[in-house]
Amino acid sequence: MIKYRTRLLFGLVTLIFIVLIGLGILLGQLFKTHFISTYDSRLNKESSLIAAFIEEGGGIHHLNEKELDSFSGTLDSRITVTDLTGELKFDSGSIDNQVDEKKHLSTLENIIETKVNGNSNVQAFEVGGGFNLHYYWHPISSNGAEEGYLFLSTKLTEIQKAYQQIWWLLIISLGLALIVILILGARITARYTKPIESATKVAIELAKGNYRARTYEDPLEETGMLSTSINILARNLQGMVKANEIQQGRLSALIENMGSGLLLINSKGHINLINRTFIEVFRVERQNYLNRLYYHVIEHQEISDLIEEIFMTEQKVKKQMHLPIGIERRYFEVYGVPILGTNEEWKGILLVFHDITEIKKLEQVRKDFVANVSHELKTPITSIKGFTETLLDGAKEDKDALEHFLKIILEESDRLQSLILDLLELSKIEQQGYTLSIREVNINQLLEEMLPIVNQKAEEKEIKIILQPLQKNITIDGDYYRLKQIFINLISNAIAYSLQGGRVTVSIKEGKNTIAVSISDTGIGIAKEEIPRIFERFYRVDKARSRNSGGTGLGLAIVKHLVEAHKGKISVESALGKGTTFIIELHKTFPKERK
């Protein structure tokens, strides 16, 4: 693109060039007219003097040819005298050898016929066609009557030379003027357009978003105001952008780090924003959600129904939802509000998910504690009280009955003790300051040392325990006794819920930074809808079977908390009648706490 300065200079030079050409033509024509007018005035005087000389000498019939030749040489002109009919009386001869005599005579005849006899006031005539002759005539009178004509003819060489000199003078002077004007114009345009070009570049940079761009502030009043205004605008924009970035950063930090999940949906149903809490809680990928229709990516129908309700009613909605996420069920208090712009223009929907699972758990614990504990304690306490009353009523005299009743009382007491110990253990694990005794643990050795503890129970049900250790010894960071407790609980559960003659398989897989231990059984399995609840306290898949096996209903809750204390993960794969697999993923190196 041609620069503004070049275009301005080109336009200015073109205008000046046209003006100078027009001025040169005008001045040249004026000079030519003035010179010819002066030349004609001179010829008029000269012809008048010669005509007067002829008249004083007796007219055309008494011509002094010698004097006329002298006049011709002096004036550098050809003198010709004719009578009224054009008959030649005197001719001083050709001015140069190039003049054709016939052309001269025919010119005289034409002048006499057209100019003289026609009574024309014009007394000059030019002959071109390469002759460049100028004729001037004057009548010759005798006794008051015209008797002939005097013709002065001269070459226009002087006029042409003068005309050429005029043009050369004009060309040189106007050329010099053009050069001076070009130099001054270039300096002037550069002086005035450079600030404008600089301001233009800065404006373009500002349009691109570079608010640090600045222009030189010109001292001239006119362009200086422009440069100063551009710089003030740039500084203001930079300040506004910086303030906006700070505000945007604060808002982004608030949105990303707020404790509640956030979901923003536009008026067309596309998800425009999800925050970190939403991603972590619902375990989704950001790229799978953004700019997608909400009903294509949101798995929970309750949330989709809530969004549709807000779209339909355009009213605020507040609901509590109990949603399965992975192997858990979490409680959420969901606030949904429509976003309306100016003039009630529909902008979209904002959903805020408050995770109230812990609050609900506390409420549920308070509600269920008496019921669950009393339910779990009722049978052993009733048994102990009943058998004790029976013994007091006289059954103690029967030695066999006494021994039998005391054994039952002991079993029920052990059951009460196990339940109380599990409750205390779970309470201890859930405390805020609970710590592990981390050391290196050989995972193969740990599992091998654990098998004798559960073998007796497995042998009673003819269940085969298969251990598939790693080919090499791998150590992980963990609490030896707590890890042992985790695997004992899981294998004991697998034995308890497996059928007679079943199989329990313990396998290990090594990852890059983790170890995965899988415990699979061939038991009754777990229904899909019950999987999220199996880690709740006192929840039983098969209450009759677990009660007969002596379980307290707290084992899986303890396992889950211990795995989480090791910064690990526990997952479940199961199908009814096909068995269950628990997968515990532990870090080889215990993760450090973030400060």
CA–CA dist 252, 273 (Å, integer): 11
Rg (CA), the chain: 61
Nearest to 490 by CA among 538, 449, 447: 447
- 594 contacts 534 by C-beta, under 8 angstroms: no
| pLDDT computed for residue 574 by the predictor | 86
Given the structure tokens 């976003």, which residue do they identify? 339
CB atoms under 10 Å from CB of 43, counted, come to 22
| pLDDT computed for residue 159 by the predictor | 67
Give the burial class of 238: count Cβ atoms within 10 A of its Cβ; 0-12 exposed, 13-18 middle, 19 or more buried.
Answer: middle
Given the structure tokens 């997952």, which residue do they identify? 571
**Residues 6 or more apart in contact with residue 327 via CB below 8 angstroms:** 531, 532, 534, 535, 570, 571, 572
Going 471 to 474 to 479 to 480, the CA torsion angle's sign is positive
pLDDT per position in the chain (595 positions), as tens?
456 667 777 777 788 778 878 877 887 778 777 777 787 787 788 888 888 887 777 777 777 778 778 877 777 778 888 887 777 778 887 655 445 666 677 777 777 766 555 555 545 666 544 456 777 777 888 777 778 888 887 776 666 777 777 778 777 877 888 788 778 877 777 776 777 777 777 777 777 777 777 776 666 566 667 777 777 888 888 888 888 888 888 888 888 888 888 999 998 889 998 888 888 888 888 888 888 898 888 888 899 999 999 888 888 999 998 888 877 788 899 999 998 877 778 888 999 999 888 888 777 766 665 666 666 667 677 777 777 877 777 766 777 777 777 887 887 787 777 777 767 766 766 665 567 788 888 888 888 888 888 888 888 888 888 888 887 788 888 888 888 888 888 888 888 888 888 889 989 888 888 889 999 988 888 888 788 778 776 666 655 444 445 556 677 888 888 888 888 888 888 888 888 999 999 988 888 765 4
Strands 569-575 and 579-587: antiparallel
- 308 contacts 314 by C-beta, under 8 angstroms: no
| pLDDT computed for residue 567 by the predictor | 86
Angle between helical axes of 157-208 and 4-56 (0-180°, round to 10): 170
CA–CA dist 500, 492 (Å, integer): 14
DSSP 398: S
| pLDDT computed for residue 258 by the predictor | 83
**What does 98-146 look like in DSSP terms, one character per residue?**
TS-HHHHHHHHHHIIIIIITTT-S--EEEE-TT--EEEEEEEEEETTEE
| pLDDT computed for residue 335 by the predictor | 93
CA–CA dist 277, 256 (Å, integer): 7
Strands 503-510 and 464-468: parallel
CA–CA dist 124, 308 (Å, integer): 107
